[in-house]
Amino acid sequence: MIDIKFLRENPEIVKENIRKKFQDEKLALVDEVISLDAENRKAKQEGDDLRAKRNKISKEIGALMAKGQKEEAEAKKAEVAAGAKRLAELEQIEEELSEKITKIMMVIPNIIDESVPIGKDDSENVEIQKYGEPKVPAFEVPYHADILDRIGGLDKEAAGRTSGNGFYYLIGDAARLHSAMLSYARDFMIDKGFTYCIPPFMIRSSVVQGVMSFKEMEAMMYKIEGEDLYLIGTSEHSMIGRFKGEMVEESKLPITMTSYSPCFRKEVGSHGIEERGVYRVHQFEKQEMVVLCKPEESMDWYNKMWSYTVEFFRSLDVPVRTLECCSGDLADLKVKSCDVEAWSPRQQKYFEVGSCSTLGDAQARRLGIRTKGENGTYFVHTLNNTVLATPRGLIAVLENNVQEDGSILVPKALQPYMGGKEVILPIA
């Protein structure tokens, strides 16, 4: 959510930003909110004038009563009573207008960074750089579900009976490799100086509305029936919500955290969950990184954060590339975002394994997360980035380490988390 003062003073900049995001249907909202804001400020000014007048008359009443001038005092009391009625009306008007303004401001997109490429959708995202040599082995790399089947590591059929489509059982060394990756990701980020956290896996609607758009919420999140709770779709929502309504000490910035959580997503509009594989599922696990910082430091942290994900996957010998998200592919709260994609030797193309975003002060403004510096109080900036989301990350490791005989080489970085195991053999 952008600052209404900025919108009021720069309506054309806000409108041009809407055009860059190809959301022309929202252009009229800018003029609408400006009109409502003018009404609101007018009502507030009248209310402030009435309060000042009431305070003045109250003093006059006291003086008149002290002099024994009761009739004059009663007349003044009647004037105060009349003003009180109007003040109550104005307060009601202010409340209604404020609600309307907030509702509109919540759907006007954040101002994107000037470096963001302009494009309508993810097909116009721009490759930034490749890291590692993408290789295709001499043999045909099996589909990841078949790789897992050969080591007895996946049971989708039973998960379909217990939970439905989009769920899975990981078994044996596959499950162990999955957990090893998460443990390694945790320690990798701790070594970068991030504080390890395990957050609540459910959050209230007030937090949900503070960290994401309504459109994203409807498409992603599962609601707990009969309660004001949602299952988290990603842990940064819970992690940012931790600071809701707080005045953070500026001396403690930046706050750098890495969080583990299961994640739950409806995947509405994904055109069907894969029947056999675990690429797109309703439940997965993730190691995340979250940063709260000063505005002038946010772009530096953004570049550090995505580079950590690149470094993580390269330490597992997985080739990756970074992809700049274009304007039309950015969620409304995001200022700038890039994806980290891993090489798939089976498909001979890259696929997404992580996403890094800076949201400016949008989330902090919605949630009231502030700090105080030499020049006064201001909202902090928030950033998030995926270290590892698995089983998608697991797929990247499997495809890049499977051998022709069906065995899987365990990357050296993961071997300590696998009891020293160097290779996973297919079942007999």
CATH code at 183?
3.30.930.10
Last residue of a domain, one of 72, 105, 138: 105
DSSP code for 264: E
Residue 224: pLDDT over 90? yes
In this prediction, residue 274 carries a pLDDT of: 62
Per-residue three-class SS string for 75-97 = HHHHHHHHHHHHHHHHHHHHHHH
pLDDT computed for residue 251 by the predictor: 96
* CATH value at residue 80: 1.10.287.40
Q: Is residue 116 part of a domain?
A: no
Q: Please report which confidence band the pLDDT of residue 71 belongs to, taking 50, 70 and 90 as the band edges.
A: confident
Q: What is the DSSP letter of 280?
A: S
215: confidence class by pLDDT, cuts 50, 70, 90: confident
- Does one domain contain both 174 and 84? no
110 in a domain, yes or no?
no
- Percentage of residues in the chain with pLDDT exceeding 90? 82
The whole-angstrom separation of Cα 317 and Cα 334 is 31
Choosing from 105, 132, 155, the residue where a domain stops is 105
Q: Do 75 and 152 belong together in one domain?
A: no
- pLDDT for residue 98: 92
Q: How confident is the model at residue 49 (pLDDT cuts 50, 70, 90)?
A: confident
- Whether this prediction's pTM lies above 0.85 is answered by yes
For 360-368, what is the mean pLDDT?
96
Instruction: Kindly state whether residue 115 falls inside one of the protein's structural domains.
Output: no
Cα dist from 306 to 84, 121, 154, 301, 339, whole Å: 57, 21, 31, 9, 8
**Is position 382 within any domain?**
yes
Distance CA 20, CA 120 (A): 8
| DSSP conformation class of 272 | S
- Residues 171, 66 share a domain: no
Mean per-residue pLDDT over the chain, rounded = 92
- Looking at residue 223, the DSSP 8-state letter turns out to be B
Is pLDDT above 70 for 110?
A: yes
Q: Which amino acid is at 245?
A: G
- Pair 187, 70 in one domain: no
Q: Tell me the C-alpha distance between 239 and 130, whole Å.
A: 31
Domain match, 136 and 72 both: no
Mean pLDDT of 50-70: 77
d(CA 151, CA 416): 20
pLDDT tens for each residue of 159-187? 999 998 889 999 999 999 999 999 999 99
Q: Are residues 147 and 281 in the same domain?
A: yes
Q: Tell whether 238 and 126 lie within a shared domain.
A: yes
Mean pLDDT of 339-364: 96
Report residue 212's pLDDT band, with 50, 70 and 90 as the boundaries.
confident
Q: Are 290 and 382 in contact (CB under 8 A)?
A: yes
End residue of a domain, out of 76, 105, 134: 105
- Backbone angle region of 249, left / alpha / beta, with phi > 0 → left and psi within -120 to 50 → alpha: beta
- The pLDDT score that the predictor gives to residue 273 is 55
pLDDT digits (tens, 9 = 90+) for 300-338: 999 999 999 999 999 999 999 999 999 999 999 999 999
307 shares its domain with 395: yes
Do residues 127 and 89 share a domain? no
Ranking 43-52, 79-88, 335-344 by mean pLDDT, the lowest is: 79-88
Mean pLDDT of 254-272: 83
What mean pLDDT is predicted for residues 357-383? 96
**pLDDT on residue 84:** 80
Q: Which tokens sit at 23?
A: 């959301």
Strands of the sheet containing 126-131, edge to edge, are 126-131, 320-324, 336-344, 349-358, 381-390, 283-293, 255-264, 195-197
User: How many domains does the chain fold into?
Assistant: 2
88 with 220, same domain: the answer is no
Q: What is the pLDDT of residue 276?
A: 78
Higher-pLDDT residue of 359, 269: 359
Provide, rounded to the nearest whole percent, the portion of the chain with pLDDT above 70: 98
Domain span including residue 91:
4-105
- The conformational region for residue 22 under phi > 0 = left, psi -120 to 50 = alpha, else beta, is left
Q: How confident is the model at residue 275 (pLDDT cuts 50, 70, 90)?
A: low
Same domain, 87 and 136: no
